[in-house]
Amino acid sequence: MVALYITSTESAGKTALCAGIGRKLLDRGLKVGFMEPVHLIESGHTDGCEDAAFIKDSLRLAESEELICPLRLSQHELWRNLTEDPTNFSQNLKQAYRKISRDKDVVVMKGLSDLGVDKVSTLACYTVADALEAGLIIVIHYSPGFDVSKIVQISKKVKHLVGVIINLVPRSKIETAGHQLSASFNKAGIKVLGLLPEVRSLLGLSTGDLAQVLGGEILTSPEKTDEIVENVMVGAMTVDSGVMYFNRKENKAVVVRGERADMQLAALETPTRCLIVANNVKPLPFVIVQAQEKHVPIIMVKQDTPAAIAGIEQALSKASFRSRRKLEMFGEVLDSCFDFETLYSELGLKA
């Protein structure tokens, strides 16, 4: 049984990688467990482990969320545990890990962000990796000026750095700047397990999420509410230019007034994920029929158009990875861009 601890220098997709790598290992016949050893909560809040719960469901795990996410601490509490009673802290980790790892081949663990930046997160990373004898993967958010020496310094303080993953690389940068950064890591003796492109869909929201955020009523095609919205457009053009206008963007949500049947129909003639109909006005029957035939959800909301747009923009800024469809899409990215053979070799697993 081996442990794999995935941490990052900033928020850079740890949840996606834990779920995605875990699913791939599971698909290859390995018995996979998951654990988020330490979950930081804001002072005065009772934050749950929503990401951990999503990964638990994705990996079809029987363990309770309390066992998967055993230590929920404020930053101050974590620092106190790490500095005042590190032995007890390590023992608590090992006790929880023994239960999680029972009958498993691999346990994937989600670490904290800000490795090498925040002293609490950094000490927690070193402590967890050492106590549980875990192989470490460091995820970095692509930046053309990233300082590789920071990771080199970290590698000298951990027992087993499996490698790094360079995530969220703009597709226009992969062939040049991305590979240059990979070469710098390789020169420093650090393996690059993946150079992962930025995928716009993974940063979006599902139509179901939009309906929930806006408090809207889904009038058609509820079975399509897992589809991901990448763009938002406003139906405010004239009917003659509507189709041309809406064809500018794919995989979009169109926000339009309920009485604008002309714009609703124009949007339905183009690649549209959903229609968001404002002002609590139900579309005309022939619009609903057209949407049903094209399997496009219509979401009727009480807000006017500006308020609906503002709500969507705010929701997009907080979009999470917790989506079955996003996990499927990310799995395709891993298949083409992640070096599973090196991972297996480093962890001593059969490919």
Task: Dump pLDDT digits (tens) for 12-56.
Answer: 789 999 999 999 999 999 999 999 999 988 754 555 688 899 999
Q: CB within 8 A of 237, min separation 6: which ones? A: 245, 263, 266
Q: What's the confidence (pLDDT) of residue 215?
A: 95
Length of the chain in terms of residues written: 351
- Tell me: do 62 and 164 sit in the same domain: yes
- Tell me: do 158 and 261 sit in the same domain: no
Buried b (16+ CB within 10 A) or exposed e, 301-328: bebebeebbebbeebbeebebbbebbbe
Distances (CA, A) of 203 to 12, 225, 277: 12, 16, 23
- Tell me: do 117 and 263 sit in the same domain: no
- Tell me: do 182 and 264 sit in the same domain: no
- Tell me: do 285 and 336 sit in the same domain: no
- Tell me: do 9 and 141 sit in the same domain: yes
pTM: 0.83
- Tell me: do 249 and 172 sit in the same domain: no
Q: What's the confidence (pLDDT) of residue 351?
A: 62
CATH number of the structural domain spanning residue 240: 3.40.1390.20
For the ranges 223-232, 268-277, 298-307, the lowest mean pLDDT is seen at 223-232
- How confident is the model over 139-193, as pLDDT tens digits? 999 988 889 999 999 999 899 999 999 999 998 888 887 788 889 999 999 999 9
If 0-12 CB within 10 Å is exposed, 13-18 middle and 19+ buried, where does residue 46 land? Answer: exposed
CATH number of the structural domain spanning residue 9: 3.40.50.300
- Tell me: do 162 and 295 sit in the same domain: no
- Tell me: do 140 and 218 sit in the same domain: no
- Tell me: do 266 and 343 sit in the same domain: no
Q: What percent of the chain has pLDDT over 70?
A: 96
- Tell me: do 253 and 335 sit in the same domain: no
Number of structural domains (the chain) is 2
Q: What's the confidence (pLDDT) of residue 148?
A: 93
CA–CA distance, 102 with 147 (Å, rounded to integer): 39
Enclosing domain of residue 264:
205-317
- Tell me: do 41 and 178 sit in the same domain: yes
Q: In the predicted model, is pLDDT for residue 228 greater than 70?
A: yes
Going by C-alpha positions, the residue among 201, 349, 214, 225 that lies closest to residue 295 is: 225
